[in-house]
Amino acid sequence: MNEEAQFKLVKDTLLNSLWHMRTLQVVRGLGLLDWAIGAGFVRNAVWDQLHGFDTMTPLADVDVLFFDRADPSPKREAEIETTLVSAFPHRPWSVRNQARMHLRNSDRPYSSTTDAISFWLETPTCVAARLDSDENITVIAPHGLSDLVGMMGKPTARGREKFDQYLARMHSKNWPLTWPKVSVEGLE
């Protein structure tokens, strides 16, 4: 599948899910700077689709990302989470300003949400989506979508540098248990 078809698959998967679209609409309504919803929000939806699942695999959290250097305080993140919980109390919201996450991850400062995502440890998780005012989805995938669509878990360059952390994540997530067609480098 070529790159254009991969992006279309991801966009169509999200567009055809009322749950995902409503979640994107609610976050869009907050007016956050350089925002997206990433990680399992996109990955799980695509893998559920590729496995032909009729029901959505539950998410550990809905990773709302934004980039705002002007207010990198955890208090601001908590305020946003409170707003989101009020709108949809049964979604497991997790809001993080990527302008400060480099400190937690021992990385150089990030320049944007896309830059921050590029430092995540495994390629099929390094994906996010945002919704514009015309209901068009933008997919952010700094490492491309071939591993996501190919159902392959691989470490990013940063994941190779932190290979022990990558392996610990892969063991704890155990994706092939949920999605049998998924293979994960390091778990063979």
Q: Residue 155: its pLDDT value, please? A: 98
The answer to whether the predicted template modeling score (pTM) of the entire model surpasses 0.85 is yes
49-98 per-position pLDDT tens digit:
999 999 999 999 999 999 999 998 999 999 999 999 999 999 999 999 99
According to DSSP, the β-strands at 62-66 and 36-38 are: antiparallel
Tokens standing for residue 187: 């778990």
Q: How many CA atoms lie within 13 A of 40 on its CB side?
A: 15
Tokens standing for residue 174: 């155990």
Residue spans per domain, the chain: 3-184
Q: Residue 103: its pLDDT value, please? A: 86
For residues 159 and 166, the answer to whether their CB atoms sit within 8 Å is: yes
Fold that domain 3-184 belongs to in CATH:
Beta Polymerase; domain 2 (3.30.460)
165-177 per-position pLDDT tens digit:
999 999 999 999 9
